[in-house]
Structure 1
Amino acid sequence: MPHPRTRLDDNFASPIRFSILASLGEGIELDFVTLREILQCGDSPLSKSISHLQSAGYVLARKAALGTRQRTWVRSTREGREAFAGHLDALREIVALGGAAPP
């Protein structure tokens, strides 16, 4: 049986990309400013991370006017949530293997 690390998704290798999906559960849509504040990161790294996840099909970003200002809203896709859940399962299995006695 292959080691669970082979199921880790490289799209979550960046702490910001990992944190974006962790913040966007099913039915949650956050605007860019709120997401930036939650993740405590700069505009450029957040923007690049959203673009990466959007290219992977893991998030959808839409622009909408809020008053006179344009805002970007981000939400996860089903594919993104499933990929993130699989990544978390693999991490849990890796941790469990670390505490297991050798055969």
Structure 2
Amino acid sequence: MPLVLAATTGEQGHPHIVDLLLRHGVDINRVMKDKTALEWAAGFGQVQMTHHLLARGATPTVKALSEARAGAKRSLKAAANYALIIDALHATGVED
């Protein structure tokens, strides 16, 4: 799915391509392999893309929160990034 690839390729994804796809009607909450672009980005520790997708209307989910928490456990080196994602999701009201 192009949106997931645009959101997750590289260190922080490609926000300009995400925006282009959204302008052309791609569903921001479409699922690929049982996860949305937001859930994939959260799982990969992509702070800026997580914020970008939330700002563009992605639905914050408990699954995105779980993905970020799992990522933090996998990579202590990236724990600070995952903490920022967790905080952003909590700010939207997502709790588990």
| TM-score (norm. length: structure 2) | 0.31
- Greater relative CO, 1 or 2 (CA 8 Å, sep 6+): 1
> Comparing both structures, which one devotes a greater share of its residues to strand?
1
